[in-house]
Structures are given as C-alpha cells and as structure tokens.
C-alpha cells in the first residue's frame, strides 16, 4: 500500500504536536519545582491542641537561618497572623505547620507558593525560603463559615539585622 507524501508529513506533524504537548505538561508539573503538600506533617487530635506544640503557636528558631512556624487556623483567624503578623527574618528557610481545631480552612501566603488546606486532625507542612524583606497577606481560601471573608492575616519578612527573636 502506498502512503501519500502529504499523509506522511501530516502524520509526523501530528506526532510531534502530541510529543510536544506531553513534554510541556511534564515540564510544567516537574520543572519549576512544584511540590504538593503531602501527609508528612502527620495527624493530631483536633480536640486537644492544647496538649501539642500548637498550644502556644508561633515562630521557633530551629537552626542557623531555619525557623518553624506553628499556625492554628480557626473561625475566623490565624494564630498567629491575624491579630499580630507572623514575623520571620529575610534569608531564612521557614517551615509552616498548620492545623485547625474546628472546620476546614485554607492557608495561602499570597505571592508565594505556600498554599494548603488546614484540616482538623491533620497537620499541613510547607517549607519556603524568604530571601528578601517583604510583607505578604495570608488568606483563608476555603469557605469556613459566616466570617470566612474576614479571615486573613499578615506575614512580615523583616531585614535580618532588624530581627529579634523576642518580637516574634
């Protein structure tokens, strides 16, 4: 059977398009370092956060330029974050641990790739680097009740030399 030259060309073009599409999707998923939030944060008893490291949530220095931040997302505020901003120094690697004692909330630091759900009984773990001083808004992006639209907070990345661990 003879295949027409144009038929061959168009088949080749179609195959190239398919391979190109798969390649761009694969790159988009893996190339820019996108990391899904997994279950590495573990589980927790949502009814007794007082007995856990979430009893006194906030910023803890755990190493040279390394910080941990425990955040409780509850109706309708982030502790810390809403009544007082979360403060971390620039040039640091920060791991957030987020959980909820009541309903499902969201935790997104706008302008960064930190974006997760806060689920009762689960601890979400997200690590991010802050190289420059900046101010970020934190929003709850899961509808969590009548005050959902007011549920927001703030993260302040302060210059390294202005950071005092007391003020966190």
State yes or no: residue 138 binds Cu ion (CB under 5 A): no
Query: What x-and-dash track marks residues 81-120 binding Cu ion by CB under 5 A?
Result: ------------------------x---------------
Block residue for tokens 């490291």: 53
Q: How do strand 105-109 and strand 86-89 relate by DSSP bridges?
A: unpaired
Tokens of 153: 């907070």
Residue 77 in 3-state DSSP?
strand
Q: How far is the CB of 118 from Cu ion (least distance, A)?
A: 8
List, in sequence order, every residue forming a beta bridge with 23; answer none if it has no partner. none
The size of the interface with Cu ion (CB under 5 A), counted in residues, is 4
Whole-number Å distance between alpha carbons of 142 and 149: 10
Smallest distance from the beta carbon of 104 to Cu ion, in angstroms? 8
User: Would you say 92 or 99 has its CB closer to Cu ion?
Assistant: 99
Which is nearer to Cu ion, 89 or 153 (by Cβ)?
153
* Among the listed residues 72, 77, 144, 155, the single contact to Cu ion using CB under 5 A: 144
* CB 41, min distance to Cu ion, A: 18
Of 124, 130, 144, the C-alpha closest to 65 is: 130
Nearest approach, Cβ of 81 to Cu ion (angstroms)? 12
Contact 57, 93 (CB under 8 A): no
Q: Does 151 bind Cu ion (CB under 5 A)?
A: yes
Q: How far is the CB of 54 from Cu ion (least distance, A)?
A: 16
Please tell me whether residue 70 binds Cu ion under the rule CB under 5 A: no
Run of H or E including 154: strand 152-158
- Both structure tokens of 55: 């009893």
Binding site for Cu ion (CB under 5 A): 105, 140, 144, 151
């Amino acid at each position: 059977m003879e295949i027409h030259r144009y038929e061959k060309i168009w088949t080749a073009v179609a195959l190239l398009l398919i391979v190109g599409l798969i390649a761009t999707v694969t790159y988009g998923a893996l190339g820019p370092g996108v990391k899904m939030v997994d279950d590495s944060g573990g589980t927790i008893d949502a009814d007794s956060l007082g007995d856990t490291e979430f009893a006194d949530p906030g910023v803890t220095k755990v190493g040279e330029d390394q910080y941990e931040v425990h955040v409780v997302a509850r109706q309708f505020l982030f502790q810390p974050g809403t009544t007082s901003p979360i403060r971390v120094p620039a040039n640091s690697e920060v791991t957030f641990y987020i959980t909820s004692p009541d309903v499902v909330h969201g935790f997104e630091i706008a302008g960064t790739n930190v974006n997760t759900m806060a689920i009762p009984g689960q601890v979400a773990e997200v690590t991010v680097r802050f190289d420059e001083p900046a101010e970020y808004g934190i929003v709850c992006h899961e509808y969590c009740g009548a005050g959902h639209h007011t549920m927001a907070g703030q993260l302040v990345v302060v210059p390294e030399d202005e950071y005092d661990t007391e003020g966190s």
